[in-house]
Amino acid sequence: MSGSFAAAVRERALRAGMALEAARHDDDADALALAQAEWEHVTRLARTHGVQISLGEIEPDEPEGREGTAL
């Protein structure tokens, strides 16, 4: 895997986390649903390709029984 691919996945994860934060702040259910779907997709992509992502303060609410954002 190339470094540029990993960087692109990390950037996408950061944007998804920021979209989640914005949707929560705006109390926008539609935007939240889209942002959560994007977050789930990018975390699966990262996990599949062994890309480590960590968003620090920007973390989506995880359903019980699921791990945090560091992959």
For residue 71, being part of any structural domain is answered with no
Separation CA 21–CA 50 (nearest Å): 25
CA atoms within 13 A on the CB side of 61: 6
Structural domain including 14 reads 3-49
Per the structure, how many domains does the chain have?
A: 1
For residue 22, being part of any structural domain is answered with yes
For residue 44, being part of any structural domain is answered with yes
Q: Look at the block and give the residue holding tokens 């259910």.
A: 29
Q: What is the pLDDT of residues 23-63, one digit of tens each?
A: 999 999 999 999 999 999 999 999 999 999 976 544 445 44
Q: In degrees rounded to 5, what are phi and psi of residue 65?
A: 90, 0
CA atoms within 13 A on the CB side of 26: 13
User: pTM (2 decimals)?
Assistant: 0.71
Separation CA 40–CA 71 (nearest Å): 12
